[in-house]
Amino acid sequence: MKLGHHIYILPSFSLPTYSCIRSFPPSPINLNLSFPVRKRATIRSMSDSIVVPQRRSLYPPIEPYNNGILKVSDTHTLYWEQSGNPDGHPVVFLHGGPGGGTSPNNRRFFDPEFYRIVLFDQRGAGKSTPHACLEENTTWDLVNDIEKLREHLKIPEWQVFGGSWGSTLALTYSQSHPDKVTGLVLRGIFLIRKKEIDWFYEGGAAAIYPDAWEEFRDLIPENERGSLVDAYHKRLNSDDLETQYAAARAWTKWEMMTAHLLPNDGNIQKAEDDKFSLAFARIENHYFVNKAFFTSDSYLLENIDKIRHIKTTIVQGRYDVVCPMMSAWDLHKAWPEADLKIVGDAGHSANEPGIAAELVVANEKMKALVG
């Protein structure tokens, strides 16, 4: 049902199975035949009459056709990979956290016959090095890294896809380089304003998850609970590695326990992986303490005019506790030209069925807009 201007309230559903959709094993042969090289994409209006594609399911798993390491500073190197069609329309996937890293499942939101799918691990995350490093690790460093990767891969422009912190970075990059962006697909909007940090890390979300909150809160002595973000910052940067690990596990578990509408044990178990948790918690906390290195609390909303012309879909879970819907709504109010899809039976995670389906649909719609 469509309400008002570009707002869609989406009902509950089960993902259908499409036996008629052809899948194929990736190889250098079949990945190079389907599409000519695209020198410049032309995006038609999102308000044009476009038949919404029927596909709502993730694409089959695929492997990268190449990957590499890009040195972006004297300190940092980034892991990157490409999958799908080498001659297809480029799309870059920006992962969450910051510090979360990429995973093979991230490739499955995109049609591998149409898209040239670029994934990379941001500074200190995943396979990038040094692991969990906070030195030279700011939002503006990451924006510059995206440009360095684009130039390294000889991509003139690309679609940008990001969720949670990935939506923050996608907005920041697009506002810095609007001429390099053919379209945006955003999920779980995070604008890193004080009220968003306070909601999740200073007690707001405790009203919904009091049991999980107590585990997160109780690592910190009562006399340091005036700012849990600052108290965790102290421990995540301790000289004692075990103190860092303990804080990282608690920080990560709090987010993993709240990321799905229905508890996801596999997601929660990620908090027990000390290597993952350390990067996830240290880098997230570093960015939050530094207010994402923005010059104002509403920096991204204040700069919407720079990207107002870019065709965009926003997918937001109604019951997202990590990045509550108020942020997506504020973005929609500032940017009514973007399509807002509200998934009525979902929380935060991109892997929840309703959100995954709408992300696939958004990418399918972008295909129809690229001429």
What is the set of active-site residues?
A: 164, 320, 348
The Cα 37–Cα 21 span in angstroms is 24
Q: Is 218 exposed, middle or buried (0-12, 13-18, 19+ CB in 10 A)?
A: exposed
| Identity of the residue numbered 114 | F
The Cα 45–Cα 53 span in angstroms is 17
Of 136, 163, 139, 160, the residue nearest 77 (C-alpha): 136
Matching residue, tokens 């530094």: 290
Q: Is 200 exposed, middle or buried (0-12, 13-18, 19+ CB in 10 A)?
A: buried
How many residues make up the chain in this entry?
371
Alpha carbon of residue 76 to chain centroid: 21
Q: Evaluate whether 83 touches 62 at the Cβ level (below 8 Å).
A: yes
Q: b or e along 109-146 (b: 16 or more beta carbons within 10 Å of the residue's beta carbon)?
A: bbbbbbbbbbbbbbbbbbbbbeebbbeebebebbbebb
Directed axis angle between helix 228-236 and helix 241-258, to 10°?
140
Directed axis angle between helix 228-236 and helix 194-201, to 10°?
80
77 pairs with which residues across the strands?
71, 129
